[in-house]
Amino acid sequence: MRGKSVIKDFIEHIPMDIITNTRTVYNFLNTCYKCFHDVEYPLLGDFSYGELIFQTTDAQDFFLVELIDNKTFDYVREFLKNKEGQKINKADPQKILAILADKINEKEFAIDYPICPNCKRRQNHFNDNNRTTQRQIGFATWTDFEGLTQENKTKRLEEIIHLKGKNLF
């Protein structure tokens, strides 16, 4: 009985969307160019316009990102657009979006996808020739960022640009 109520408490304290909002995606087998391990990670097909996958910096967890009707993404793009004439104007808004996402179990998202789950190196060459297993992945969220005032949102973006600079291109 006790165990059951602990589980119930646990479930009641997880926001509903984390329980229900997932999507089935496919893993694809690739060989890491650096450590030569065979690794599997999800890739989206050609019909996934406006969607991305984010991966935690430890390379273990994957989350789906919708770019269409994404308030945070629109905000970042507008912010960069207003930097007309400055170098940062050409930064990749998707990379900034990854940095701004809510952390998952204290883990941040990598700005490049995919990274090898074994050696953590960024994979420059990969393919979707060898589809393997299915994986359920949840959606990334930006609740922390969206909770900021306009002034603090701008401050946060300036801070990211200052810290990450050339990695954002």
Residues that bind Zn ion (CB under 5 A): 32, 34-35, 116, 118-119
Residue 123 vs 154, nearer CB to Zn ion:
123
Least Å distance between CB 70 and Zn ion? Answer: 30
Residue 33 vs 139, nearer CB to Zn ion:
33
Q: What are phi and psi of 71, to 5 degrees?
A: -55, -40
Residue 70 vs 118, nearer CB to Zn ion:
118
Residue 21 vs 132, nearer CB to Zn ion:
132
- Find, among 167, 166, 158, the residue nearest to 83 by Cα: 158
* 73's tokens: 């993404």
Least Å distance between CB 51 and Zn ion? Answer: 25
d(CA 83, CA 91): 10
Least Å distance between CB 59 and Zn ion? Answer: 9
CA angle 42, 7, 18 (to 5 degrees): 35
Least Å distance between CB 27 and Zn ion? Answer: 16
CA angle 148, 18, 139 (to 5 degrees): 70
DSSP structure class, residue 60 = -
